[in-house]
Chain A
Amino acid sequence: MERLKLTIDSTPVEVDPGSTVLDAAKKAGVHIPTLCYHPELKLEGSCRICVVEIEGLKNLAASCVYPAANGMVVRTNSEVVRKTRKSIVELLLANHPEDCLVCPRHGTCELQDLSHQLNVRKVRFKGKKREFALDESSIAVVRDPNKCILCGRCIRICENTQKVSAIGLAGRGSRAVVTTPFNRGLAEGPCVACGQCIKVCPVAALRERDASEQVWKALGNSTLHTVVQVAPAVRAALGEEFGLRPGALVTEKMVAALRKLGFNRVFDTQFGADLTVVEEGHELLHRLEKNENLPQITSCSPGWVKYAEHFFPEMLNLVSTCKSPQQMFGALVKTYYAEKFGIAARDIFHVAVMPCTAKKFEASREEMGRDGLQDVDAVITTRELAFMIKEAGIDFANLPDSEFDLPLGMSSGAGTIFGVTGGVTEAVLRSVYEIKTGKELEEVEFQAVRGFGGVREAQIPLNGMTLRVAIVNSLGQAEKILNKIKAGEASYHFIEIMGCLGGCIGGGGQPFSKDPDIKQKRASALYRQDHLKRVRKSHENPAIKELYRSFLGEPNGDKAHDLLHTHYRARPRY
């Protein structure tokens, strides 16, 4: 097809048909501010901050939705354009709380950035501040409609990418608000706590429920033994919060920082991931043998699990009964670790650092504990950990390296790649192959399951049979594949479902980033770490072998079932 030629601020540029003026500007190296636009979401074109002048057009055009055309002459910084943009920001600020100095998005807020970039120095309009109650019903996500600028990004990601639609626009005109039906709060609806809405919110209208106070308190209580576990995806992103390049792997500095914060033991969720692989691998072999409850669907993503409970309750029998790495780990901290080191479970305060807001929900599920104690006492996100490190005045970038504690800090490369879509499948394949065939796997890297595509499929020869696997990331993709299975249009033995785009590296608790390649960069950090690990297969992790030998017994055995497996329940969709 013929390429379109246009001129943007006197720079000639060529784009493919179907491109917008904004796309063309990017290509020409011209920056146009945007707000309701988000590269991963459907176009909306409502905020008009991206307006430009197009020769021959009477009105300014919203560049993010305006189609580029041959011969078009565009100006992105004329006086009328600049004035219009400024007015839009002023209008937004007119009824926005003047809260920046104490706002969690101070420094990462796009409204703040815009105001700064556009040189807004005073607000000429006086508007009424909004007075909505905060929605603090959810353990994971807090909504503050007073800060909402109605860009609609959260609605679009929740509706289109996640297929949940827990929130929507209600009312109109000056009374329009993004809210849950009947203002009942996120906890009452089908919200799966994935936090993807937080990730795309340009301001502080959506944020995680902050648990750092609770963690500080425990750290300051000398009668408590504090144990922390850190998920794989955290080490691939935490550095961004301290000015390190995206994709920097900061494992050792992260461990050092956690020690500085005062944790008595710093452990690795990857140990829990290795354990999950062994349990889930055996579960799969068992289901294959009996030819029941197939395809087996992974259960490590709590957003996905909650989604299944709300939207596909009739398919819950397919979901692996394995707890997630976080919860397997938690169960062991309060039993195996407590016994081994002679510490009473009630004296242990166990914190999990996660890239994910849904992990907060998961830790609070009533079945995730014993004897009146939860296995995980508090979950903080990567962002919350970064806040704590800053608050403690720790010079992160210059910390000397430190290693995880043993034994629960020992992990394989298979545990590492859990943090990226496709990783669980690859990890399970590495183990299942060897367990089933009794032969050593020569090529441990399964390139076919890597990448970020919507639905990825692979066929793996396994001892005379062909194992059909599929991998999806995001709940919208999950919906698609599950509907296909229901309709008999697809059949697999194993499906990996991660609730978030990219897997955990793209989780709702990760640092805010404007880097378009951020997922690739974080993923490559994890694959790098896997590559560097001496042990690459979960079942070969010596600490895991020791755990089975001295404590658990057989994989999928009675004790393993009691501590490491769980059950699900149907939840209402309406």
Chain B
Amino acid sequence: MSDEKKCITCPGCDGARDPKYDEVDKVIAKYRNLEGALIMILHQTQEIFGYLPEDVQRYVAKGLSIPLADVYGVTTFYSYFSLTPRGKYRIAVCMGTACYVRGAGSLVSAFEKELAVKVGGTTPDRLFTLEVSRCIGACGLAPVLTVNEDVYGNIGPERVSGILAKYRDRQ
């Protein structure tokens, strides 16, 4: 297939091969003969693209001459790998028991409404990705959420739009 010829990240360009693939080639060449190469290569490829789109996974499978099912098995096994684009700011609402009991659910709903994406989704402007996380060990502050490295505790749904505005302004 000629998928690799087309750039998949920049709409509107002339369809020349995305130079990011050259970087992937280098990564593959560097690790291909090492044990555990696949995970290493996928890790670095994700750094290059920001996530692991379908065509990129195909490209890696082809580059290593291994079945696509093997690549897909690995990328869906580790939650570290992302198959969808992620926003600049990753919002993670803690769904540990304490947070859940104290209203994390309605917090998630508020974010979903405000951002018009579901959990796991990314806004079209690639600014925000909404995720839920397991207990992050800050139960005293429940309900808790993080935006990238920033931690927010004792948050109610009414503060959602304020938090988002802060990051929008930083843009």
Contact = CB atoms under 8 A, between A and B. Distances in A.
Interface of A: 159, 164-172, 180-182, 189, 572-574
Given A170-B76, A574-B61, A574-B62, A180 B69 contact: yes
| Interface residue SS majority, chain A | loop
| Interface residue SS majority, chain B | helix
Contact of A574 (B68, B73, B76, B77): B68
A300 B1 CA distance: 27
B72 A572 contact: no
B77 A165 contact: no
A165 B73 CA distance: 11
Contacts of B68: 165, 181, 189, 574
Contacts, number: 40
A167 B76 contact: no
Contacts of B71: 181
B67 interface: yes
B70 interface: yes
B23 interface: no
A172 B73 CA distance: 9
Interface in B99-158: none
Given A159-B67, A574-B62, A168 B1 contact: no
A167 B69 contact: yes
Interface string B52-88: 0010011001100001111111001100000000000
A159 B69 CA distance: 10
Given A170-B76, A574-B58, A574-B61, A165 B1 contact: no
Given A181-B57, A181-B68, 10 more contacts: A165-B70, A168-B69, A170-B72, A172-B76, A181-B71, A189-B69, A572-B1, A574-B1, A574-B62, A574-B68
A572 to B, nearest CB: 5
A159 B62 CA distance: 16
A370 B58 CA distance: 37
Contacts of A168: 67, 69-70, 72-73
B67 A171 contact: no
A552 B71 CA distance: 51
A171 B76 contact: yes
Nearest to B1: A572
Contacts of B57: 181
B71 to A, nearest CB: 7
Nearest to A573: B62
A189 to B, nearest CB: 7
A171 B58 contact: no
B54 A182 contact: yes
B112 to A, nearest CB: 21
